[in-house]
Structure 1
């Protein structure tokens, strides 16, 4: 059965999100809501998988990972294990009604 996540509309009011380009917002939403995403925000996904699923180039995905790691400090990514940790993963979701 598919899991459903409701993204709180406050996502769009977050000062960090407001600072992002459309590509960064799209990428971050994918990191938060893709089928491999877990409740703890730690899961395996390769650069190639991210590029394929988001239809971004591998170079773009690598640049976005650097930006989200170094500038925004919203993720950690281990290229050896392909593990990603999306920090504060649950911050933008609300419970089912």
Structure 2
């Protein structure tokens, strides 16, 4: 199995795409979200993540250095992740 096959493709929801496209989003926070997205792609069950209120395969994880919270859905059958919401602080 190659490294690419080990990755979990992460797709942003429309809400996340709008948050990332917002010119008011600080560059530093944008960079933290991108880095977090890469970490999720490598391992969606990050040690810092917790089950979300929805239960099941839904997870929440803090954005590093107090940047906010991200919420995502692990789609095990599709071997992919949907980044559903970003709550920047």
The TM-score, its normalising length taken from structure 2, stands at 0.38
* Structure ranking higher in strand proportion: 2
The TM-score, its normalising length taken from structure 1, stands at 0.36
* Structure ranking higher in helix proportion: 1
